[in-house]
């Protein structure tokens, strides 16, 4: 039985550790944060599964990974020992009348990414009122993107922790570790995200950087939305992800900053103003949390899986802001590489199922 140490117990680390354990490996997981996942990028996330919407800006590789991951989530969640909220009601894109040009550009980007055949529908008037009653009269039209979904990020992290423990994984919560320290393991998988920045260096500096994301969680018993809503806006684009029990996760686009400071007054005002513009009913919502974290991002905005044979190390990083959307496909590809390396067989240049290359490092 192969012994595998996984360093970093965020979303990718937990998924990889669980798949390895279920493949018959003896697995140890080391995570400097708590079992809840607080401190990990995945803990501050909307957990939207939206490859069609993300195609407007994401790379083709990321979009493909997103589509691959949707059925993987459907297959995984029923096997976990705790329930996880998953919704697949599509997503809705809205904009104010003065921002129609942004919507036209968004549609062009989607059609370009899908060879002119982006599967979207235009909602107007009566259909908007029937599908999202609380947005009736607020927006003259919107774009419905079918097949998209979302998860409850913190339920996922907790359910994965419970599954790891049930599978006999030695979970070392609140235990920082470096891959080089874990010499007793046959192989080590480094999933530390931005915590591994120094390991992704080059002559010109690290290829890995943190991109700041800011998120609000609000409780709004007067608001009901049936699906995630994205507001196109020239200055304050945002998304609203409705979770269970009238809890909403609200976020905006990424900020090119590695600051881990709390959310500023200015940022919170902009975020809340945009939220209120979507529906004044949010004016009475209770702010449960304002949080910020760094998403690990490589220079090409794609994830990478690389391995160092001499160090018996596999490194997985660069999931950027698409963690929940692409993590199942990326982690499955990493597990296939680890099993091939641990088995002593020939290692392919890339993963046939995901299309991700396996990058060899000396």
Q: How is the chain split into domains, by residue range?
A: 3-81+152-209+300-360
Between 160 and 137, where is the model more confident? 160
What's the chain's average pLDDT? 94
CB of 7 closer than 8 Å to CB of 179: yes
Q: Is the dihedral of CA 48, 52, 53, 54 positive or negative?
A: positive
d(CA 153, CA 144): 23
Q: How many C-beta neighbours within 10 Å does residue 137 have? A: 10
Query: Mean pLDDT, to the nearest integer, of 1-27?
Result: 97
CB of 111 closer than 8 Å to CB of 176: no
Which band of pLDDT confidence, cut at 50, 70 and 90, is reported for residue 204? Answer: low
Q: Which CATH architecture has domain 3-81+152-209+300-360?
A: 3-Layer(bba) Sandwich (3.50)
Strand ranges (E), 191-272: 208-219, 229-232, 238-242, 247-252
CB of 220 closer than 8 Å to CB of 248: yes
pLDDT 10s digits, 232-283: 998 888 999 999 999 999 997 678 899 999 999 988 998 899 899 999 999 9
Which band of pLDDT confidence, cut at 50, 70 and 90, is reported for residue 341? Answer: very high
> What's the predicted TM-score (pTM) here?
0.96
214, HSE (Cβ side, Cα atoms, 13 Å): 24
Parallel/antiparallel/unpaired status of strands 121-124 and 358-360: unpaired
Output the pLDDT for position 206: 76
Q: What percent of the chain has pLDDT over 90?
A: 88
CA angle 339, 32, 313 (to 5 degrees): 30
Output the pLDDT for position 235: 84
User: Mapping DSSP to helix (H, G, I), strand (E, B) and coil, where does residue 214 land?
Assistant: strand
């Amino acid at each position: 039985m192969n012994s595998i140490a996984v360093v970093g117990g965020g979303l990718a680390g937990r998924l990889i550790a669980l798949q390895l354990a279920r493949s018959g490996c003896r697995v140890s997981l080391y995570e400097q944060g708590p079992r809840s996942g607080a401190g990990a990028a995945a803990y501050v996330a909307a957990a939207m599964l939206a490859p069609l919407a993300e195609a407007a800006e994401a790379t083709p590789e990321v979009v493909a990974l997103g589509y691959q991951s949707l059925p993987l989530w459907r297959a995984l969640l029923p096997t976990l020992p705790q329930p996880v909220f998953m919704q697949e009601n599509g997503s809705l894109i809205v904009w104010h009348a003065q921002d129609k040009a942004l919507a036209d550009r968004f549609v062009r980007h989607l059609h370009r990414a899908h060879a002119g055949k982006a599967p979207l529908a235009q909602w107007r008037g009566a259909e908007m009122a029937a599908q999202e009653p609380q947005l009736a009269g607020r927006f003259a039209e919107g774009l419905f993107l079918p097949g998209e979904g979302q998860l409850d990020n913190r339920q996922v992290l907790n359910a994965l922790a419970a599954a790891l423990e049930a599978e006999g994984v030695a979970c070392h919560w609140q235990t920082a570790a470096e891959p080089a320290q874990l010499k007793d393991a046959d192989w080590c998988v480094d999933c530390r995200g931005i915590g591994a920045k120094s390991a992704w260096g080059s002559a010109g500096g690290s290829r890995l950087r943190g991109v700041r994301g800011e998120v609000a969680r609000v409780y709004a018993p007067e608001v009901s939305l049936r699906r995630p809503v994205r507001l196109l806006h020239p200055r304050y684009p945002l998304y609203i992800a409705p979770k269970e029990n009238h809890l909403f996760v609200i976020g905006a686009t990424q900020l090119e900053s590695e600051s881990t400071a709390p959310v500023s007054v200015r940022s919170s005002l902009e975020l809340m103003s945009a939220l209120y513009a979507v529906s004044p009913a949010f004016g009475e919502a209770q702010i449960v949390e304002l949080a910020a974290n760094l998403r690990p991002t490589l220079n090409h905005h794609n994830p990478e899986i690389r391995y160092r044979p001499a160090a018996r190390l596999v490194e997985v990083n660069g999931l950027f802001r698409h963690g929940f959307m692409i993590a199942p496909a990326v982690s499955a590809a990493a597990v296939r590489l680890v099993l091939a390396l641990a088995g002593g067989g020939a290692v392919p240049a890339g993963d046939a199922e995901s299309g991700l290359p396996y990058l060899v490092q000396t």
